[in-house]
Structure 1
Amino acid sequence: MFAIFCLVIAALIGGWLVTKVNLPAVIGQMLAGLLLGPSLLNLSLPMDWLHLASELGVWLLMYEAGLAVDAAALKANFSIANRVAWLGAFVPFGVFWAIELWLHQTLLIASFSGLVFAATSISITLAVLGTHHQLGSRIGSIILGAAIIDDMIAILGLTAVTFVTSGAGVNLTNFLPLIWFILGFISRRVTRLATINHHLITAATWTVIPLFFAGIGAQINVATLIPMFGPLIIWTLIAVATKMLGAYIASKWSGLSNLTAAAIGSGMVARGEMALVILTAGLASQLITTSQFTFYTAVVTLTTVLAPLIMEPLFKRLR
């Protein structure tokens, strides 16, 4: 438990430090886990406890996302958000599916890879939009709505893949992040729960949420990534370009300006908690190897780092 405590403290410090350079706290939290894990200090961590805390962190992240949703703004922009979500998911899914097949991977692995990069991070999207005071704006509602739909697509896709690999039917645990999101969305409308929600999210922000991101970082061994540096950069660039392209085309199709379409595209770039949930499920079911998990997680992390850097100049021009 002392190791878990150290990981939480390191994650909080790391998250605080990166916010000083206008990056989302989750990046610093993952880097903290990276430093304490096998990449550097190789701190011995109780993985069972870490997994349990991380699961709770994911659920509360989704609950927080549900609390943040403005139902009226989401409804008003649903049509555009729906286009952005589907095209923004279809383009990266199709491209990575084709790449994996070209690399002689199985159809199942190709579909799994497409799912990982079809997802969009709601929590990271929320953090960056909040930084630019865009959460209540039209563009913020479109990006958030599209991110929510993307995650629903990813959850349904993961359930389908799990069904094929296990033959055990629908795995209801895959729907838990979505269920927690819905619970958050509903509880926002219950005034009596406002104080409880505030304390719950505050406690989670200081404990299990940073622990989730730090735990992901702690599972990465940088030494194993060095031989894959070239492919890592290429995959990251493809992940960024495909998500931006799909969202940009959908936004232009909806009649938005070039600048607004580009800003929406940049807001969809970050993969985060949902991609990591998919990867964790893939590793647990032995669909992917530890090496593949590390590689995919590194790509997801890099998209998370790059997203706010891409968004910054575009959102400044929108002010």
Structure 2
Amino acid sequence: MEFILYLVLIIFFTKVAGDLSVRIGQPAVLGKLIVGIILGPAVLGWIGNSSFIDELSEIGVLLLMFIAGLETDLDQLKKNWKSAFAVAVGGIILPFIGGYSAAIAFGFGQNYALFFGVIFCATSVSISVQVLKEMNKLNSREGTTILGAAVIDDVLVVILLAVMMSLVGTGNDISIPLLIGKKALFFIVTFLAGWYVVPKVMKWMAPLRVTEAVISAALFICFGFAYFAESLQMAGIIGAFAAGIAISQTNYKHTVEEKVEPIAYSIFVPVFFVSIGLNVSFEGLGQQWGFLIVITIIACVTKLLGGWLGARLTGFNSKSSLIIGSGMVSRGEVALIIASTGLQAGLLLPQYFTSIVIMVILTTLVTPPLLKMFFKDKVDQALAGK
């Protein structure tokens, strides 16, 4: 029954920490992330990593991105697709150069340095989504650009990873055209299913004489899209996000929103936030503190500047560009997956894995305050201009 105790601790402390975080002027998600570090192996050790936590957190992040899709203004997303593409590209080029250069400076070999650059390119906006949602900015021009850029970034980084693993000869027989074909297939099938199939499934399942038929239909679609995405080597969160957008175009949007949020935010999303902190461990760092500080600064600055540059080049002012850049800083679970892949393939030295994990956590922790600060600056500037 240990998992029951884990749930007790997670539910109670994430709510208390979230409230305290809001009271000191920070997004609630920041307090929830810190709770994971405190309750986990790094500090108190009350909660350990387990398959139970991993599976619940996976559901949590899928539901979080599903809700983001439900609440996304599709017209705004279409309007900002050029900016989203530019932000994604800028958020890959600069971090890759920064990560590669840092690795070379610390004496890494060429192949290790190239892979290091790939790790820096990853972006996971699940935390940014929660912050934007808390501030009611998810449908702002900046918010939709961040979401669009995250989808493009995921596609480009996976292709870049495949190219890298093929070039350095790790024994992975990866067909680049096949990989790109899978991405194209995902978007084609998702678009067609979202346009034609999803409305019919919702209309057919909603009248079924069973309890909560509408939300059951929505979750069936959400997890189905996520599984399809994973099967084509896309992140499951992209599939969940696409499912949310598809359902948002039906008459069941508001009903699904009202039903899914209590499910997500009572258990699954808090477990996801805590699970991020559980990855922190200071064992094995040894003399790597300087290395950790340098790569964390480079990871944050290059992603921020890359996103800022992409936004500026496509018509955003400096303040809005900073918001978009800060929303792309968090590496989250995407970078952890890439790092684990590299570790297994021999492209990441085992002694540096812990530093990479902590760097990923730190980029995730710094994102909520950055978003809050830059949005506040923009509001203050707007008020001062009146």
Same topology, TM > 0.5: yes
| Structure 1 residues 6 and 159, CA gap change in structure 2 (3 angstroms) | farther
Does residue 172 in structure 1 map to residue 225 in structure 2? Answer: no
Indicate the residue corresponding to 2:7 in structure 1: 8
Task: Give the whole-Å Cα distance in 2 for the aligned partners of 1:266 and 1:81.
Answer: 14
Indicate the residue corresponding to 2:151 in structure 1: 148
Residue of 288, 312, 318 corresponding to 1:258: 318
Partners of 1:7 and 1:33 within 8 A in 2 = no
Partners of 1:7 and 1:211 within 8 A in 2 = no
- Please say which of residues 76-85 and 268-277 is displaced more in the overlay: 268-277
| Structure 1 residues 68 and 228, CA gap change in structure 2 (3 angstroms) | farther
| Structure 1 residues 181 and 105, CA gap change in structure 2 (3 angstroms) | farther
Partners of 1:38 and 1:221 within 8 A in 2 = yes
Indicate the residue corresponding to 1:41 in structure 2: 44
Q: What letter matches 2:296 in structure 1?
A: T
Residue of 70, 73, 77 corresponding to 2:73: 70
Indicate the residue corresponding to 1:229 in structure 2: 289
Q: How many residue pairs were aligned?
A: 318
Indicate the residue corresponding to 2:100 in structure 1: 97
Q: What letter matches 2:121 in structure 1?
A: A
Kindly provide the CA deviation profile for residues 151-171 of structure 1, in whole angstroms up to 9, marking residues without a partner as x: 332343445567765626568
| Structure 1 residues 27 and 108, CA gap change in structure 2 (3 angstroms) | farther
Shift of 1:303: 2.0
| Structure 1 residues 167 and 201, CA gap change in structure 2 (3 angstroms) | farther
| Structure 1 residues 44 and 236, CA gap change in structure 2 (3 angstroms) | closer
Q: What letter matches 1:75 in structure 2?
A: K
Task: Give the whole-Å Cα distance in 2 for the aligned partners of 1:286 and 1:56.
Answer: 30
Does residue 123 in structure 1 map to residue 122 in structure 2? Answer: no
Provide the alpha-carbon RMSD of the alignment: 3.2
Q: Identity, % of aligned pairs?
A: 31
Task: Give the whole-Å Cα distance in 2 for the aligned partners of 1:162 and 1:53.
Answer: 31
1:20-59 aligned within 5 A: 20=22, 21-43=24-46, 45=48, 47-59=50-62
Partners of 1:14 and 1:25 within 8 A in 2 = no
Task: Give the whole-Å Cα distance in 1 for the aligned partners of 2:340 and 2:36.
Answer: 16
Matched position secondary structure for 1:191: coil
Q: What letter matches 2:94 in structure 1?
A: V
Q: What letter matches 2:250 in structure 1?
A: V
Partners of 1:158 and 1:174 within 8 A in 2 = no
Does residue 315 in structure 1 map to residue 314 in structure 2? Answer: no
1:180-199 aligned within 5 A: 180-192=240-252, 194-196=254-256, 198-199=258-259
Kindly provide the CA deviation profile for residues 31-79 of structure 1, in whole angstroms up to 9, marking residues without a partner as x: 3333333323334747233333333334333333332322100111111
5+ long unaligned stretches in structure 1:
none
Partners of 2:40 and 2:278 within 8 A in 1 = yes
Q: What letter matches 2:231 in structure 1?
A: L
User: Which stretches of structure 1, 4 residues or longer, exceed 6 Å deviation after superposition?
Assistant: none
| Structure 1 residues 220 and 271, CA gap change in structure 2 (3 angstroms) | same
TM-score (structure 2 length as normaliser): 0.70
Matched position secondary structure for 2:246: helix
Task: Give the whole-Å Cα distance in 2 for the aligned partners of 1:30 and 1:115.
Answer: 25
Does residue 210 in structure 1 map to residue 270 in structure 2? Answer: yes
Indicate the residue corresponding to 1:238 in structure 2: 298
Partners of 2:33 and 2:365 within 8 A in 1 = no
Indicate the residue corresponding to 1:61 in structure 2: 64
Task: Give the whole-Å Cα distance in 2 for the aligned partners of 1:252 and 1:197.
Answer: 34
Larger radius of gyration: 2
Task: Give the whole-Å Cα distance in 1 for the aligned partners of 2:260 and 2:111.
Answer: 39
Task: Give the whole-Å Cα distance in 1 for the aligned partners of 2:90 and 2:104.
Answer: 21
